[in-house]
């Protein structure tokens, strides 16, 4: 039975009947000589090992060059804010890990669009400051908006905006032919609006006009009409921050584009807003994501080192090979005292009604004496907002009477759900809330640092309803109850 | 005693007719449909014995291959010629022919969303997983497709 929900029932019925009629009339008889497409049977499959071998060679070659690219990025990051700095396009000798020199194949001044020929290199030494936002019309679809500022008050350039749009469509999708770009005349700001899904052209144009008119105030666009607005981060997108990239092909269909970008990948919720189908793909202990992107390609983006993002777009290549290649890339040495090295500790399940993510950030040692702020920090993100950055957390001993250092409601979402967050003793394996409206909620705790399963643990509980009376939370170690606490779910952060 | 697991050959014989129909609807081309189903089974064959739900897996492969074939057809610029070979339906209802003619020229993802929703009877969430997009996008695709039918056929 076809579920028609709020569709145009007459049109839906016509479509359904038409499709059934076509299906009924489709000739499904097997052709003489047609055989099962399985190797070893009469008609071997055309997708054979040959393509796979070529892919492996491509990936191996990519891996060999990856360290050079990442090293080059360390170099490119030396002068990140001045695209006209002549040293950033200088012709220099070969580079190796940690070198300050560009590899010889880098074409000086090549700041055009992403390379498309095998072996071609793309480099962009400039850093643009982009403030991005995803707007979602109530009818569905997503529109990416960004205000892009040129460094040092340099005049905005439409060609650069156009290149950024083109790269965005490669790594996050969208229709570049329907994108809108505006560079202010004589000013240092540019504006881009890119529909990521199927959205009316007139709507895109209206949003773009609002963007040019209001700048980052476009975040409020349509708020009264049910539009949603999510923060996004495009600083890791090639061409927005200093980038070197190289294109590889097996000469057939498999391609791998490897980039390194002088940036940090955004917080989990900002990444998920941009790549809603992304799933965590940590690399070498750094935070990373894997996501399907347009044209059947797959994107891998990961924090290769503090201040350096690795990025691969693979097409028709065996993902296992690509993954092995990524894992084999040595991370460049981080600079001291610069960036927090954010790692994803956990996130909401696919299809969850409340999106959340827990991040762990280690601050690198600085020259000064150790301080609380340099201890690990744990952040909870709920629906695009950080609701609980907590640094310098002491781990409660297993025997502690109060088996948590942080516990309680941190956010109300959609009027009904309460997000409860806790940082707990290693002894706590489960947190249970007594039945609300007959439904008991029990959530297993997880280690904050997967590399330290015996250390601090966290729990995120989504509690629906139950704000009418204080609720009893029970902390358990296996089947043994350690303690209980009574909490008023109405009081967020209380 | 439980039945022995279905072999890939048995699965192919059983599922092929339905998958060819689906591929025809997804691509708009009966010729392309044969290729799509062939490639879809080829991609599933090596792991057939490990599949819990072969039908769902093959369906996903058919959708992926149809998407890929549609892109290739667009690149080859023979889409117009392919679409020219429209066979009239035997249902004797001209509006069905008109609707099918319209569906074939809709943007690919709109057509796929309509086929998966109103032929395969999948939910928006299931379609979103197959098309690798958000349920809101699926809803939008379906609404736009139906609006086109309303405008061009039902007028």
DSSP chain B: -PPPPPPHHHHHHHHHHHHHHHHHHHHS-HHHHHHHHHHHHHHHHTTGGG-S-HHHHHHHHHHHHHHHHHHHHHHHT-HHHHHH-PPPPTT--HHHHHHHHHHHHS-HHHHHHHHHHHTS---HHHHHHHHTS-HHHHHHHHHHHHHHHIIIII-
A residues 256-295 closer than 8 Å to B (CB): 276-277, 292, 295
Closest Cα to residue A347, out of A334, A335, A336, A360?
A360
pLDDT in tens, A270-294: 788 888 888 888 877 678 888 988 7
- Whether pLDDT at A98 is above 70: no
Closest residue, chain A, to B144 (C-alpha): A198
Q: CA of A351, closest CA in chain B: separation in Å?
A: 9
| DSSP H or E segment with residue A76 | helix A49-76
Look at A365 and A155; give whichever has higher pLDDT. Answer: A155
Q: Do A140 and B147 touch (CB under 8 A)?
A: no
* A contacts of B103 (beta carbons < 8 Å): 15, 18-19
Residue A390 pLDDT > 80: no
Q: What percent of chain A has pLDDT over 70?
A: 68
Alpha-carbon radius of gyration of chain A: 26
Say how far apart CA A306 and CA A231 lie, in whole Å.
Answer: 22
The overall average pLDDT reported for chain A is 72
The answer on pLDDT for A64 being more than 60 is: no
- Summarize pLDDT for A3-21 with one digit per residue, the tens: 445 788 899 999 999 999 8
- Shortest CA distance from A199: residue in chain B: B140
For residue A475, list its beta bridge partners. Answer: A431, A483
Nearest CA in chain B to A200: B144
Q: What is the mean pLDDT of residues B60-87?
A: 56
Q: CB of A319 within 8 Å of any CB in chain B?
A: no
Q: From edge to edge, which strands make up the β-sheet containing A189-195?
A: A180-183, A189-195, A143-149, A129-136, A228-232
- Within 8 A of B45 by CB-CB distance, chain A residues are 36-39, 45
B51 versus A53: the higher-pLDDT residue is B51
Q: What is the pTM of this model?
A: 0.43
Angle between helices B30-45 and B8-27 (to 10 degrees): 140
CA distance B126 to B116: 9
C-alpha span between A134 and A269 (Å, rounded): 12
Interface of A with B in 181-210 (CB under 8 A): 197-199
Residue in the structure block whose two tokens are 């048995």: B10
**Number of Cβ within a 10 Å radius of residue A491:** 11
Q: Which of A16-30, A474-488, B59-73 has the lowest mean pLDDT?
A: B59-73
CB-defined contacts A:B, below 8 A? 155
Chain A residues inside the 8 Å CB shell of B46: 39
In this prediction, residue B13 carries a pLDDT of 82
More reliable by pLDDT, A29 or A51: A29
Residue A148 confidence class, pLDDT cut points 50, 70, 90:
very high
How many Å separate Cα A367 from the centre of its chain? 32
CB-CB under 8 Å, A296 with B68 = yes
What is the rounded distance in angstroms from the CA atom of residue A14 to the CA atom of residue B100?
A: 10
Cβ-defined contacts of A402-407 (< 8 Å, 24+):
A402/A483, A403/A427, A403/A428, A403/A475, A403/A482, A403/A483, A404/A428, A404/A475, A405/A456, A407/A473, A407/A485, A407/A487
Distance in Å, alpha carbon of B110 to nearest chain A alpha carbon: 9
Q: Please, is A185 exposed, middle or buried when counting C-beta atoms within 10 Å of its C-beta (0-12, 13-18, 19+)?
A: exposed
Which of A9, A24, A36 would best serve as a mutation to test chain B binding (most B beta carbons within 10 A)?
A: A36
- Greatest mean pLDDT among A65-74, A259-268, A311-320, B21-30 lies in B21-30
Bridge partners (DSSP) of residue A245 are A122, A259
Tell me whether A110 touches chain B (CB under 8 Å): no
Question: Span A195-204, mean pLDDT?
Answer: 89
Question: In the numeric block, which tokens belong to residue A81?
Answer: 């804010």
Which of A:333-352 have CB within 8 Å of B? Answer: 351
User: To which H or E segment does residue A9 belong?
Assistant: helix A9-25
Average pLDDT value for residue range A30-52: 35
Checking phi first, is residue A201 left (phi over 0); if not, alpha (psi -120 to 50) or beta? alpha
Q: What is the pLDDT of residues A404-414, one digit of tens each?
A: 888 888 888 87
pLDDT of residue A477: 92
CA A70 from centre of chain: 20
Residue A459, pLDDT score: 93
Higher-confidence position of A204 and A384: A204
pLDDT band at A110 (very low <50, low <70, confident <90, very high): very low
Above 60 in pLDDT, residue A42?
A: no
Q: Are A180 and A204 in contact (CB under 8 A)?
A: yes
Q: What is the mean pLDDT of the segment spanning A83-112? A: 27
- Judged by CB atoms closer than 8 Å, whether chains meet at A19 and B25 is answered as yes
Give the lowest-confidence range in A28-42, A157-171, A376-390.
A28-42
What confidence score (pLDDT) does residue B131 get?
A: 80
Under the banding of pLDDT at 50, 70 and 90, the label for residue B72 is low
pLDDT tens figures, B9-58 = 778 888 889 999 999 999 888 878 887 888 787 767 766 777 778 888 88
Half-sphere exposure of A205 (CA within 13 A, CB side): 3
Mutate which: B47, B104, B117, B124, vs A, most A CBs within 10 A: B117
On whether any CB of chain B is under 8 Å from the CB of A37, the answer is yes
Q: Which residue of B has its CA nearest to A197?
A: B137
129-148 of A, contacting B, C-beta below 8 A: 136, 139-142
Helix (H, G, I), strand (E, B) or coil at A447: strand
**Tokens in use for B52?**
């819990």
Given an 8 Å threshold on Cβ–Cβ distance, is B110 in contact with A198? yes
Better-predicted residue by pLDDT, A384 or B137: B137
- The answer to whether the Cβ–Cβ distance between B118 and A12 falls below 8 Å is yes
Q: How far is A128 from chain B (nearest CA, A)?
A: 29
Which of A96, A76, A79 lies closest to A261 in space, CA to CA?
A: A76
Cα angle, residue A400 at apex, residues A398 and A405 outer, rounded to 5°? 95
Task: Identify which has the larger pLDDT, A137 or A2.
Answer: A137
Which pLDDT score is estimated for A452? 81
With cut-offs at 50, 70 and 90, classify the pLDDT of residue A152.
confident
Q: What confidence score (pLDDT) does residue A193 get?
A: 95
Helix-, strand-, coil-residue percentages of chain A, each rounded to 5: 25, 30, 45
Q: Give contacts of B91 with chain A, Cβ < 8 Å.
A: 17, 21
pLDDT band at A331 (very low <50, low <70, confident <90, very high): low
Token readout for A347 is 């996130």
Q: Alpha-carbon distance A70 to A305, whole Å?
A: 9
Q: Which residue has the higher pLDDT, B125 or B47?
A: B125
Per mean pLDDT, which of A44-48, A95-99, B86-90 is the most reliable?
B86-90
Which residues in chain B touch residue A144, judged by CB atoms under 8 angstroms apart? none
Instruction: Select the residue of A14, A47, A292 nearest B149 (Cβ to Cβ).
Output: A14
For residue A158, the distance in angstroms to the closest alpha carbon of chain B comes to: 28
Strands (E), A81-128: 121-124
* pLDDT category of residue A68 using cuts at 50, 70 and 90: very low
Q: What is the DSSP string of B13-42?
A: HHHHHHHHHHHHHHHS-HHHHHHHHHHHHH
Q: Chain B contact for A330, CB < 8 A?
A: no
User: What's residue A392's pLDDT?
Assistant: 60
Q: Between residues B18 and B5, which one has the greater pLDDT?
A: B18
- For residues A109 and A123, the answer to whether their CB atoms sit within 8 Å is no
Burial class (CB in 10 A: 0-12, 13-18, 19+), A206: middle
Q: What is the ipTM of this complex?
A: 0.89
Q: How confident is the model at residue A383 (pLDDT cuts 50, 70, 90)?
A: low
Predicted confidence at residue A142, as pLDDT, reads 92
Poorest-pLDDT segment among A123-137, A319-333, A385-399: A385-399
Cα A261 to chain centroid distance, Å, stands at 14
Q: Take residue A148 and report the two structure tokens written for it.
A: 């892009």
Question: What digits encode the pLDDT tens for the residues A435-490?
Answer: 887 788 999 999 988 778 888 899 999 998 888 888 899 999 988 988 888 888 88
- pLDDT higher at A43 or A418: A418
């Amino acid at each position: 039975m076809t579920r028609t929900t709020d569709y145009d029932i007459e049109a839906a019925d016509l479509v359904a009947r038409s499709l059934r009629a076509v299906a009924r009339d489709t000739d499904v008889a097997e052709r003489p000589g047609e055989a099962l497409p399985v190797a070893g049977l009469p008609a071997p499959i055309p997708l054979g090992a040959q393509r796979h071998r070529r892919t492996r060679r491509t990936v191996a070659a990519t891996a060999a060059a990856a360290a050079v690219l990442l090293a080059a990025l360390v170099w490119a990051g030396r002068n990140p804010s001045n695209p006209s700095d002549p040293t950033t396009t200088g012709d220099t000798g070969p580079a190796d890990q940690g070198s300050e020199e560009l590899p010889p194949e880098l074409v000086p001044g090549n700041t055009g669009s992403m390379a498309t020929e095998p072996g071609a290199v793309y480099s962009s030494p400039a850093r643009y400051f982009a403030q991005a936002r995803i707007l979602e019309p109530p009818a569905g679809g997503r529109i990416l908006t960004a205000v892009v500022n040129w460094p040092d008050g340099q005049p905005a350039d439409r060609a650069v905006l156009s290149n950024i749009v083109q790269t965005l469509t490669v790594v996050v999708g969208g229709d570049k032919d329907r994108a809108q770009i505006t560079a202010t005349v004589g000013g240092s700001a540019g504006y881009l609006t890119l529909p990521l899904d199927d959205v009316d052209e007139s709507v895109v144009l209206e949003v773009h006009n609002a963007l040019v008119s209001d700048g980052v105030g476009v975040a409020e666009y349509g708020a009264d009409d049910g539009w949603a607005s999510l923060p996004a981060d495009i600083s890791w997108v090639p061409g927005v921050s200093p980038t070197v990239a190289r294109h590889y092909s097996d000469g057939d269909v498999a391609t791998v584009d490897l980039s390194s970008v002088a940036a940090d990948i955004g917080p989990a919720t900002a990444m998920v807003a941009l790549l809603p189908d992304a799933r965590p793909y940590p690399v070498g202990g750094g935070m990373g994501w894997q996501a399907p992107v347009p044209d059947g390609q797959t994107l891998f983006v990961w924090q290769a080192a503090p201040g350096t993002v690795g990025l691969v777009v693979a097409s028709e290549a065996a993902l296992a090979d690509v993954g092995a290649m990524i894992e084999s890339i040595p991370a460049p040495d981080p600079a001291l005292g610069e960036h927090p090295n954010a790692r994803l500790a956990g996130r909401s399940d696919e299809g969850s009604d409340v999106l959340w993510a827990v991040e762990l950030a280690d601050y690198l040692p600085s020259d000064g004496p150790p301080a609380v702020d340099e201890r690990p920090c744990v952040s909870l993100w709920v629906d695009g907002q950080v609701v609980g950055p907590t640094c310098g957390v002491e781990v409660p001993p297993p025997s502690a009477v109060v088996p948590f250092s942080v516990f309680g409601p941190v956010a109300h979402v959609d009027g009904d759900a309460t997000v409860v967050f806790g940082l707990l003793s290693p002894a706590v394996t489960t947190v249970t809330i007594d039945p609300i409206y007959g439904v008991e909620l029990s959530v297993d705790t997880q280690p904050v640092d997967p590399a330290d399963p015996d250390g601090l643990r966290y729990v995120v509980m989504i509690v629906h309803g139950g704000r009418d009376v204080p609720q009893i939370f029970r902390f358990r170690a296996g089947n043994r109850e350690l303690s209980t606490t009574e909490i008023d779910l109405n009081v967020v952060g209380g | 005693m439980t039945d022995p697991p279905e072999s890939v050959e048995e699965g192919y014989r059983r599922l092929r007719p339905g998958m060819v129909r689906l591929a025809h609807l997804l691509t708009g081309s009966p010729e392309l449909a044969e290729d799509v189903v062939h490639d879809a089974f080829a991609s599933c064959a090596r792991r057939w014995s490990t599949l819990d739900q072969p039908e769902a897996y093959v369906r996903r492969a058919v959708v992926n291959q149809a998407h890929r074939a549609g892109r290739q057809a667009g690149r080859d610029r023979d889409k117009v010629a392919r679409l020219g070979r429209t066979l009239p339906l035997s249902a004797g209802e001209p509006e069905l022919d008109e609707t099918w003619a319209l569906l074939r020229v809709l943007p690919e993802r709109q057509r796929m969303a309509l086929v998966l929703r109103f032929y395969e009877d999948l939910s928006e969430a299931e379609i979103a997983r197959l098309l690798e997009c958000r349920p809101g996008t699926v809803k939008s695709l379906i609404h736009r497709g139906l609006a086109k039918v309303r405008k061009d056929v039902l007028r």
